[in-house]
Amino acid sequence: MKLSQFKFNLPESLVANNPSEQRDEARLMVLHKDSGKIEHKIFKDVLNYFDDHDVMILNNTKVFPARLYGNKEKTGATIEVFLLRELNKELRLWDVLVDPARKIRVGNKLYFGDDDLLVAEVVDNTTSRGRTIRFLFDGTDEEFRKNIEILGETPLPKYIKRKATAQDKERYQTIFAKHEGAVAAPTAGLHFSRELMKRLELKGVNFAEVTLHVGLGTFRSVEVEDLTKHKMDSEQFIIEQKDADIVNKALEEKRKICAVGTTSMRAIESAVSSGRTLKAANDWTSKFIFPPYDFSIANSMITNFHTPESTLLMMVSAFGGYDYVRNAYEVALKEKYRFYSYGDAMLII
């Protein structure tokens, strides 16, 4: 397939800048992938589509406050430093993006916080905006993390045109987030409230957890018309044996298995055994899923409404069927569904 087949015009007014008032009260479009039939619901209605022994696969990654603002030594210029991932815990080496990049050179020192709570030195150039920095900090890892927590901002995507607030700290995080390492939220999971999880449990729905640490590659644009030539960034994922067992039992019993979000789907599709079951894994994946694609594990999925020409839209199109998803997006635009991270949801079943 070609990049241009995933183009559509999205009015600025449909980009969600804030979350819905209640997590589980965003709108929900239900797309039936056997017929293309569409229903309009509220997210908590997802309860009516799942039964005893069905499984939902959740990504339990936790977003850390990855956006820091500091000052460059001597000039005092304000610099944005976006923490991508820790390269070495002992040496406190981090892979980061800097802005404005032209001002940041190897050897520069950066100061963060009113009383220089953290200081970092630039040790390498990686890409035009990428740098490796070393934090010069003598305290414990716990103290270092606490300082990042104090100084860091919730890393809202750039298309949300406002500053992060205290509310974002809670709402740009799923209620089942456990393992820190993501710089973007697995957004389909943001719609689950504690009450809804409880009601699903009471109905007999089982939950399996995977961890995929979402990187900025999620937002990286595709720049080649021929999709086979696009390279995805690698992201770390972990699937424990007990969770693989829950999924495989449901596979065996032919239950509904729902991947909550494109990140959960990418993780499970990166850990398929030769017998087409899910296996435990601790690995990195750069899997790029676009139509046509034969999915091995999940037979339903929950996702948000994605950016034109994004790898996320391509995966959803592969799962729901290109024509059906294309039509669903046309309906979403007409019905004024809200798009992106804080937007509404879609269940493909």
Q: Which string of DSSP letters, residue by residue, matches 308-349?
A: TT-HHHHHHHHHH-HHHHHHHHHHHHHTTPPBSTTS-EEEE-
Model confidence band, residue 76 (pLDDT cutoffs 50, 70, 90): confident
Mean pLDDT of the chain: 94
- Dist CA 214 CA 264 (whole Å): 10
CA dihedral 101, 107, 111, 117 (to 10 degrees): 130
- List pLDDT tens digits, range 281-328: 999 999 999 999 999 999 999 999 999 999 999 999 999 999 999 999
CATH 3.40.1780.10 in the chain: give the residue spans. Answer: 3-63+170-348
Q: Which two tokens stand for residue 166?
A: 């205290």
- Dist CA 316 CA 230 (whole Å): 17
CATH 2.40.10.240 in the chain: give the residue spans. Answer: 67-153
Query: What phi and psi values does residue 197 have, to the nearest 5 degrees?
Result: -60, -45
Residue 128: what pLDDT? 80
- List pLDDT tens digits, range 26-53: 999 999 999 999 999 999 999 999 999 9
- List pLDDT tens digits, range 187-237: 999 999 999 999 999 999 999 999 999 987 777 789 999 999 999 989 999
| AA identity, residue 97 | L
**Percentage of the chain with pLDDT > 70?**
100
- Dist CA 2 CA 195 (whole Å): 42
Domain 3-63+170-348 has CATH 3.40.1780.10: yes
Its pTM stands at 0.92
- Dist CA 317 CA 245 (whole Å): 28
- Dist CA 281 CA 284 (whole Å): 9
CATH of 67-153, one of 2.20.28.90, 2.40.10.240, 2.40.50.140, 2.40.340.10: 2.40.10.240
